[in-house]
């Protein structure tokens, strides 16, 4: 991957922060933009790192973030969105249909889908300036319709399925505009973060549990291994390389 300038959304913690730390270590990387709404809480510094405030729920904030980036770069080679919402305070994923409510459903769509659309809308000129831009959003296996065997988690599942459709649609449009662009939807595997924390006890018996650093490394390798697969506009991949069913 031609990787001089990288931009990570959701860089405050978890997998996003782990990506930032991995990327600044790479000798070919010159600058990493780390975007978050809690940017002042990113407890990490590096000469290659530029922290930028982003309110992911506000479209205008993406254009302001672009202006900030343009002070130090004219293009983006790698854009990764790690923002995700599954639970907050007493709001937990729904186990049954009776638990679905408008507020949680709409919030899930707002946080899990729209930022991936707005980052492309706001940053497309900078992506176009890259020789071969790579765009990735962290999706989830539970967003696969074909793989849905357990049910439950309505708002999160549906929002990840919608994210997959949003990015596939954008990948088709971007390929017309810039045929060298590559798009990925990535299932990171169960990773020890605030998002997965309430479910780790159950998950431990079923899945391998990763540290965020392993996940960031796995996913960067996964992207690199799949850059030449150009038969599809976008790949929906699991951390272990499996192609996931839409
Ligand atoms: N961990 C797993 O096992 C797992 C499995 C499958 C998929 N994923 C996906 O991987 C991605 C990264 O998750 P993670 O595990 O690293 O979770 P995490 O540690 O909880 O990080 C979530 C990120 O999303 C941001 N975020 C959440 N709500 C937001 C809001 N309302 N507005 C703006 N930003 C918001 C957080 O920012 P703040 O710090 O500002 O809240 C944080 O940067 C997510 O898309 C998740 O769905 C994770």
Q: What is the model's pLDDT at position 72? A: 97
pTM assigned to the model: 0.98
Q: Which domain holds residue 153?
A: 5-238
**pLDDT (tens digit per residue) in 141-189:** 999 999 999 999 999 999 999 999 999 999 999 999 999 999 999 999 9
Testing ligand 1's pocket by substitution, the residue of 7, 84, 115, 215 carrying the most ligand atoms inside 8 A of its CB is 84
Flag whether 246 is in a domain: no
Flag whether 243 is in a domain: no
**pLDDT (tens digit per residue) in 126-144:** 999 999 999 999 999 999 9
Q: What is the model's pLDDT at position 48? A: 98
Flag whether 148 is in a domain: yes
Flag whether 196 is in a domain: yes
Flag whether 55 is in a domain: yes
- In the chain, how many domains are there? 1
Residues 190 and 210 sit within 8 Å (Cβ to Cβ): yes
Better-scored residue on pLDDT, 41 or 77: 77
Q: Is the pLDDT of residue 93 over 90?
A: yes
Testing ligand 1's pocket by substitution, the residue of 8, 9, 15 carrying the most ligand atoms inside 8 A of its CB is 15
Q: What is the model's pLDDT at position 81? A: 99
Nearest CA to ligand 1 atom 12: 82
CATH of the domain at 233: 3.40.50.720
Flag whether 185 is in a domain: yes
Q: Is the pLDDT of residue 63 over 90?
A: yes
Q: What is the mean pLDDT of residues 22-39?
A: 97
Flag whether 245 is in a domain: no
Q: Is the pLDDT of residue 66 over 90?
A: yes
Dist. CA 94–CA 68, nearest whole Å? 38
The residue written with tokens 């962290």 in the block is 138
Flag whether 244 is in a domain: no
Q: What is the mean pLDDT of residues 58-76?
A: 98
Under 8 Å CB-to-CB from 29, ≥6 apart: which residues? 3, 4, 5, 6, 23, 48
């Amino acid at each position: 991957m031609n990787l001089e300038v990288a931009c990570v959304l959701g860089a405050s913690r978890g997998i996003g922060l782990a990506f930032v730390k991995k990327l600044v270590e790479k000798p070919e990387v010159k600058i990493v933009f780390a975007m978050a709404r809690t940017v002042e809480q990113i407890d990490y510094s590096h000469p290659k790192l530029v922290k930028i405030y982003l309110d992911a729920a506000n479209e205008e904030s993406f254009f302001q973030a672009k202006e900030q980036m343009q002070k130090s770069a004219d293009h983006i080679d790698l854009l990764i969105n790690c923002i995700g919402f599954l639970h907050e305070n007493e709001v937990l994923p729904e186990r049954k249909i009776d638990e679905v409510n408008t507020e949680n459903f709409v919030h899930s769509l707002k946080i899990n889908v729209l930022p991936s659309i707005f980052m492309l809308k706001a940053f497309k000129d900078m992506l176009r300036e890259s020789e071969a831009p790579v765009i990735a959003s962290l999706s989830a296996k539970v967003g696969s319709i074909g793989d849905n065997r357990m049910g439950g988690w309505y708002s999160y599942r549906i929002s990840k399925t919608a994210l997959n459709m949003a990015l596939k649609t954008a990948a088709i449009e971007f390929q017309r505009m810039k045929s060298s662009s590559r798009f990925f939807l990535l299932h990171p595997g169960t990773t020890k973060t605030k998002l997965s924390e309430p479910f780790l006890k159950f998950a431990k018996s079923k899945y391998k549990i990763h540290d965020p650093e392993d996940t960031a490394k796995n996913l960067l390798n996964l992207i690199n291994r799949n850059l030449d697969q150009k038969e599809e506009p976008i790949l929906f991949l699991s951390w272990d390389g499996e192609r996931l069913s839409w």
